């Protein structure tokens, strides 16, 4: 493995801006993030690029419909994508927009190189074009529907610049032969090879019928056609024409859905070969997440959104499900039932429970200090050798060892990697149950065995935290701290785990449960209610901007207006605000920012949710008098009914809520005027 930091460059697809991310896009970006984390834990200097594909006729139409210029439309959408990735903890190290000037220059430069090398010519093209997929459909007849999305094709004739793709049949086939790992998985590789063997037609790479695109210099009204434009974004993100300075090109890995594998493994290497630029090392095609056996799409109304799931179960739960439930490369069905079942079985009852029982017993029997196992080493070898052996086999970085989790990550075999880690969870759990530390604790003479049992359980947990970290970054970091480990888990080398590195004498802590168990029916109802709310924002309340982060404080706390239009007193009079007194306050499982309050408003007791959980302890609020908007239409926040709104100042750029207070005694129910 690398002595000096070797560079590793990977990419997600550059997503279209005519919609917002759903679980399918989230999947692709999560996988990229897992690989990024894994590679960093192997000592690589990693850059991951994601971004937005912003040109084309779809955007022209969507912007027109929204009544805004294209540039404004795409700026908002790009921000929404970027904000969601930030919120979910999976931001790109580079976020490239195809409207960025660096990208525009790179596309024009690439075209110039291809042209200078004789691979570009001007011609006319008439074809059947799918405006939804931005692609001509070879062999389609007028009146046909798109074979991919099923929507009607349009006949388009125009003067185009053509790329001589036909010249690259042999070079591509030779390249695939020399680089058998270039296309993964193997089934896709075979598919692409037979496609290329079937012959390649030249490709039109500019349009004159589209306005919203990158201009071909000196050849207006030609603009670049979407694939010549979009694919180049991978190179623009790491320096474009100056890519050598940064040293990340060629990409080590393009992660894409199976829908766009052809563009990445045929067009893209051909463009680069034509320009005499280095070709990426690997393209991995993942499968689709299906809903009721159909690919998700907003028009079919079957999209699953990430945010409601994350609000209910946490991002690690979503990551675990996406990677564990489906073999990478294959399609999988998405269901909330399967998601929550996995959460409860593998995370709450599995890892969460194991961590909690181990730490609790160390606290109870050894005052929270990891005991030394040395004294009982002999015994330990006898009955915990299987745990130690399994842990070491999983952490084996020698590529020849098939059971190694590291090797499975290396092969993008995520489901299998997690399955293997969970065999260790199960084994430790079973050993605890059979050795019954609570029974050993009854006998002072068995203290050595008790120490050995708990030391080994804790050491196994340390292995699990490291091995599962690429997939479960937040919860393993918490576990890492609970095990008394210092330093960042991200900085630990996954391939340098040795049994026994956990030091006896380390102080553990047990501040919170990693994965609280949830009631399945209630959890699904809550997720669905939140998804419904996000897809169909209530009319009474202002719809969240597409870029709005998870409505935390802003959901239930009045925010200072940014627009200073004056209103009449009659408008203000419509808002009925009264003094309320908080009777109870509790946290909501799965909604970090919200508190569920019951508030006496004089005439009745109301349930109100307030986005103040990060700033106020529930207990500190009991009995407190606050200003309440009482005539707001009821709505659900994170699936919990909220009947009114607590008023607070919104302070600082992060919008910290500060509740109102009354300096003199006021009666509950008094109206604020």
Residues in the chain: 673
Write down the least CB distance from residue 114 to ligand ME8, Å. Answer: 17
H-run or E-run covering 410? helix 405-410
Among residues 31 and 483, whose Cβ is nearest to ligand ME8? 31
Phi and psi angles of residue 418, each rounded to the nearest 5 degrees, phi first: -70, -40
Residue of closest CB approach to ligand ME8: 24
Write down the least CB distance from residue 581 to ligand ME8, Å. Answer: 49
Angstrom CA distances, 455 to 360, 365, 405, 495, stand at 13, 12, 23, 22
Which residue blocks in 41-163 are alpha helix, DSSP H? 57-66, 70-87, 101-116
Among residues 260 and 405, whose Cβ is nearest to ligand ME8? 260
Write down the least CB distance from residue 546 to ligand ME8, Å. Answer: 15
- 668: exposed, middle or buried (Cβ count in 10 Å: 0-12, 13-18, 19+): middle
Among residues 232 and 358, whose Cβ is nearest to ligand ME8? 232
Which residue blocks in 48-92 are alpha helix, DSSP H? 57-66, 70-87
Write down the least CB distance from residue 214 to ligand ME8, Å. Answer: 14
Write down the least CB distance from residue 74 to ligand ME8, Å. Answer: 12
Write down the least CB distance from residue 304 to ligand ME8, Å. Answer: 9
Among residues 15 and 414, whose Cβ is nearest to ligand ME8? 15
> Residue 599: beta bridge partners?
582, 606
Among residues 293 and 573, whose Cβ is nearest to ligand ME8? 293
Among residues 14 and 449, whose Cβ is nearest to ligand ME8? 14
End-to-end CA distance of the chain: 70
Among residues 295 and 587, whose Cβ is nearest to ligand ME8? 295
H-run or E-run covering 609? strand 605-610
CB atoms closer than 10 angstroms to residue 654 = 11
H-run or E-run covering 648? strand 648-651
Structure tokens at 217: 């210099």
CB atoms closer than 10 angstroms to residue 28 = 21
How far apart are the C-alpha atoms of 400 and 375, rounded to whole Å? 35
Among residues 251 and 428, whose Cβ is nearest to ligand ME8? 251
Among residues 320 and 384, whose Cβ is nearest to ligand ME8? 320
Write down the least CB distance from residue 189 to ligand ME8, Å. Answer: 17
Three state DSSP letters for 537-592: CCCCCCCCCCCCCCCCHHHHECCCCCCCCCCCHHHHHCCCEEEEEEEEEEEECCEE
**559 φψ region: left (φ > 0), alpha (ψ -120 to 50), beta (else):** beta
How far apart are the C-alpha atoms of 357 and 413, rounded to whole Å? 30
Write down the least CB distance from residue 87 to ligand ME8, Å. Answer: 18
How far apart are the C-alpha atoms of 435 and 568, rounded to whole Å? 74
Write down the least CB distance from residue 653 to ligand ME8, Å. Answer: 31
Write down the least CB distance from residue 273 to ligand ME8, Å. Answer: 17
Among residues 295 and 624, whose Cβ is nearest to ligand ME8? 295
Among residues 13 and 657, whose Cβ is nearest to ligand ME8? 13
Write down the least CB distance from residue 385 to ligand ME8, Å. Answer: 42
DSSP 507: B
Which residues are at the interface with ligand ME8 (CB under 6 A)?
13-16, 24-25, 27-28, 53, 230-231, 233, 256-257, 259-260, 288-289, 295-296
Nearest to 615 by CA among 596, 641, 595: 595
Angstrom CA distances, 508 to 168, 388, 458, 494, stand at 61, 21, 10, 22
Among residues 397 and 413, whose Cβ is nearest to ligand ME8? 413
Write down the least CB distance from residue 51 to ligand ME8, Å. Answer: 9
């Amino acid at each position: 493995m690398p002595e000096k930091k070797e560079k590793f460059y990977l990419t997600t697809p550059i997503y279209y801006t005519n919609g917002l991310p759903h679980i399918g896009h989230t999947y692709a970006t999560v996988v990229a993030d897992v690989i990024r984390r894994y590679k960093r834990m192997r000592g690589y200097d990693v850059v991951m690029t994601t971004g937005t594909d912003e040109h084309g006729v779809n955007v022209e139409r969507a912007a027109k419909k929204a009544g805004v210029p294209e540039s404004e439309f795409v700026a908002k959408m790009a921000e929404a994508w970027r904000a969601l990735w930030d919120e979910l903890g999976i931001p790109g190290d580079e976020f490239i927009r195809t409207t960025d000037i660096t990208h525009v220059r790179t596309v024009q430069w690439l075209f110039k190189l291809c042209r200078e090398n004789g691979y570009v010519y001007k011609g006319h093209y008439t074809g059947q074009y799918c405006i939804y997929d931005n692609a001509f459909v070879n062999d389609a007849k007028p009146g046909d529907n798109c074979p991919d999305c099923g929507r009607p094709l349009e006949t388009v004739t125009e003067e185009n610049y053509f790329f001589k793709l036909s010249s690259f049949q042999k070079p591509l086939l030779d390249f695939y032969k020399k680089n058998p790992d270039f296309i993964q998985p193997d089934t896709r590789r075979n598919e692409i090879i037979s496609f290329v063997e079937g012959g390649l037609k030249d490709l039109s790479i500019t349009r004159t019928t589209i306005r919203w695109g990158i201009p071909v210099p000196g050849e207006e009204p030609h603009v670049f056609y979407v694939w010549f434009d979009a694919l180049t974004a991978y190179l623009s993100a790491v320096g474009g024409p100056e890519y050598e300075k940064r040293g990340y090109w060629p990409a080590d890995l393009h992660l894409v859905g199976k829908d766009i594998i052809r563009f990445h493994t045929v067009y893209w290497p051909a463009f680069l070969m034509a320009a005499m630029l280095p070709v990426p090392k690997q393209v991995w095609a993942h499968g689709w997440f299906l809903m009721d056996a159909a690919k998700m799409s907003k028009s079919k109304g079957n999209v699953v959104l990430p945010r409601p799931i994350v609000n209910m179960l946490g991002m690690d739960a979503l990551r675990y499900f996406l990677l564990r439930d489906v073999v990478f490369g294959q399609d999988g069905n998405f269901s909330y039932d399967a998601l929550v079942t996995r959460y409860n079985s593998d995370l709450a009852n599995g890892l969460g429970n194991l961590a909690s029982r181990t730490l609790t017993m160390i606290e109870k029997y050894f005052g929270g200090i990891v005991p030394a196992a040395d004294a009982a080493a002999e015994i330990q070898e006898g009955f915990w050798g299987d745990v130690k052996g399994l842990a070491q086999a999983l952490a084996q970085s020698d590529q020849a060892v098939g059971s190694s989790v590291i090797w499975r990550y290396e092969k993008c075999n995520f489901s299998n990697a997690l399955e293997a880690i969970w065999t260790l969870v199960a084994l430790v759990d079973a050993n605890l149950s059979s050795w019954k530390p609570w029974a050993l604790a009854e006998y002072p003479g068995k203290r050595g065995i008790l120490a050995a049992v708990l030391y080994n359980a804790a050491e196994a947990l340390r292995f699990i935290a490291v091995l599962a970290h690429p997939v479960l970054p937040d919860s393993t970091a918490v576990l890492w701290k609970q095990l008394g480990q210092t330093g960042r888990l991200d900085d630990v080398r996954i391939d340098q785990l040795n049994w026994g590195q956990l030091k006896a004498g380390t102080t553990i802590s047990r501040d919170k449960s990693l994965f609280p168990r949830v009631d399945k029916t209630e959890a699904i109802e809550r997720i669905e209610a939140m998804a419904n709310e996000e897809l169909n924002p209530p009319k009474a309340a202002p719809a969240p901007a597409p870029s709005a982060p998870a409505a935390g404080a802003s959901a239930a706390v009045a925010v200072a207006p940014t627009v200073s239009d004056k209103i009449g007193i009659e408008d203000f009079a419509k808002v009925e605000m009264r003094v309320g007194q908080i009777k109870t306050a509790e946290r909501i499982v799965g909604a970090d920012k919200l508190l569920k309050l019951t508030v006496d408003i004089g005439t009745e007791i109301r349930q109100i949710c307030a986005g103040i959980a990060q700033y106020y302890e529930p207990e500190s609020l009991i009995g407190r008098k606050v200003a309440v908007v009482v005539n707001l239409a009821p709505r659900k926040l994170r699936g919990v009914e909220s009947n009114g709104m607590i008023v607070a100042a919104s302070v600082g750029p992060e919008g910290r809520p500060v509740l109102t207070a009354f300096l003199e005694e006021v009666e509950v129910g008094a109206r604020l005027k």
